[in-house]
Chain A
Amino acid sequence: MSSTVRPLSPHLQVYRWQIQMVTSILHRATGIVLALGSLLVAAALVALASGPEAWAKVVALATSWYGLIVLVGWTWCLAYHWLNGIRHLLQDAGLGYSIERFVANSWISVIGSLVLTAIVWFVIYAHGGLA
């Protein structure tokens, strides 16, 4: 018999990068980040229920410079997963599958998520920022 170490299926490294695979990979990556974010949501709610000292720590973390980086990144993950999630629901309904439209709505997810993130943080800073 021939060797059992034979190619099984094409893997990521044999493909040229294209927007369709970027949107798919990003959907999973942002999903993982958002799942981890649920831990932070739970921690913040438990802190709020525990008392003012615990809540003050949450506020201190959220208003620090690294807290700001986490919150902006988190906002983009939510914006991307939300927009691309709508795209996936429309695909479940059989819409947007022609190659041109598939590429076009992939770009809508990527660029739209950056626009949504910018809008959210523009509103936050227009109302005085995090402090």
Chain B
Amino acid sequence: MSHFDRYRQPLKNARGLGSAKDGVHHFIVQRVTAVALLFLSVYFLVFVVGLIGVDYASARAAVAHPCNAVLLIAFLIASIWHGELGLQVIIEDYVHTPGLALTSRLVIKFVCVLVALASILAVVRIALGA
């Protein structure tokens, strides 16, 4: 035992060795977004069903309403974040080649961020009347 090892917990050697390279943060965020989506996905479904048959101006006005704009952006963030976490787990479980796993995780992350930014910008543009 070296001089420093007397002050180190065995936990230090175990940290970061799981397939996700981190601790329970992923698990917790997946559950927190899940609880948010229990409500937000029902809201989104009701909102979309309410848009059936309305004309373009009415659809824009519905999205532009501040309550809807805020809840839609909340739904977009929660659902895309939750989806990115879920797809990451599937990659970790089934893709066993480290290079391919890293590449596919990066691609999924980048696509998710771009989809989130594009859809949120669209809601903001509609809400601000641009």
Contact = CB atoms under 8 A, between A and B. Distances in A.
Interface residues of A, number: 32
A95 to B, nearest CB: 14
Contacts of B72: 45
Interface in B58-95: 59-60, 63, 72, 76, 79-80, 83-84, 86-87, 90
Contact of A128 (B53, B90, B122): B53
Q: Could you tell me the dominant secondary structure of chain B's interface residues?
A: helix
Q: Could you tell me the dominant secondary structure of chain A's interface residues?
A: helix
B117 to A, nearest CB: 9
Contact of A55 (B56, B115, B130): B56
Given A31-B83, A45-B122, A120 B34 contact: no
Contact of B41 (A52, A55, A78): A78
Contact of B86 (A31, A49, A129): A31
A35 B81 CA distance: 10
A49 B56 contact: no
B79 A124 contact: no
B122 A38 contact: no
Given A32-B90, A55-B56, A123 B49 contact: yes
A127 B52 contact: yes
Contact of B56 (A31, A52, A129): A52
A99 interface: no
A130 interface: yes
Nearest to B44: A41
Given A38-B112, A131-B53, 18 more contacts: A31-B83, A31-B86, A32-B86, A41-B119, A42-B122, A45-B126, A46-B119, A48-B60, A48-B122, A49-B121, A49-B123, A49-B126, A55-B59, A56-B56, A78-B45, A82-B38, A89-B34, A130-B52
Interface of A: 28, 31-32, 34-35, 38-39, 41-42, 45-46, 48-49, 52, 55-56, 75, 78, 82, 85-86, 88-89, 92, 120, 123-124, 127-131
Interface of B: 31, 34-35, 37-38, 41-42, 45, 49, 52-53, 56, 59-60, 63, 72, 76, 79-80, 83-84, 86-87, 90, 112, 115-116, 118-119, 121-123, 125-126, 130
7 shortest interchain CB distances as A-B pairs? A35-B83, A42-B119, A45-B122, A49-B122, A49-B125, A52-B56, A46-B122
